[in-house]
Amino acid sequence: MHSLLLLAAVVQFSGTAAPSWRAVHEQETARFVSQYPQLGPRLPVIIQLDDDYVAAAKARKSIEVVDDCGEALCGVATDDFPEDWQFAELRALFTPPSATRLERDAFAVALLGTFRGQDVERWAADCLSAWPPGSVSSIPNT
């Protein structure tokens, strides 16, 4: 698929105009769509942008930069915290809104290989090395 056509099909904005950094970010999101077609990306990702944090927080009763709003994402049109947007867009693309937030977040982490900017494999290795030998086998399965 032509990259501009794919880019237009990935995200649909409403509300306030999108900040300039979004164009580069949407290209990254389009790459995930191209890379994982077998996961059945749900396109387009609908994004409702608000003007300011205070109004958005009051309206959504949330202090997160971006929230899941049913089938859409809701957030503030700012260049703050772009990694939060990438995470949310991956949740919206590849996981159903009916899944728990924990499951949706875990899926996004698995695709990115990072969580809050930290390499997941390195973080897991640090956690495992902090536990006494043999204690990992006693972690209950949930």
Is residue 103 predicted with pLDDT exceeding 90?
Answer: yes
List strand residue ranges (DSSP E) for 1-142, in order. 11-15, 45-50, 66-69, 72-76, 114-115, 118-119
Percent over 90 (pLDDT), the chain: 32
88-116: average pLDDT: 91
Kindly state the DSSP code that residue 102 receives in the 8-state scheme: H
pLDDT in tens, 30-43: 999 999 999 999 99
d(CA 49, CA 15): 5
- pLDDT the model gives residue 4: 46
Indicate the residue type of 124. Answer: A
64-74: average pLDDT: 90
41-65: average pLDDT: 89
16-20: average pLDDT: 83
9 or 60: which carries more pLDDT confidence?
60
Is residue 139 predicted with pLDDT exceeding 80?
Answer: no
Q: Rounded to two decimals, what is the model's pTM?
A: 0.76
Is residue 53 predicted with pLDDT exceeding 60?
Answer: yes
Tell me the average pLDDT of the chain: 83
Is residue 6 predicted with pLDDT exceeding 80?
Answer: no
Is residue 2 predicted with pLDDT exceeding 70?
Answer: no
Rounded to the nearest 5 degrees, what angle is found at the Cα of 29, between the Cα atoms of 27 and 33? 110
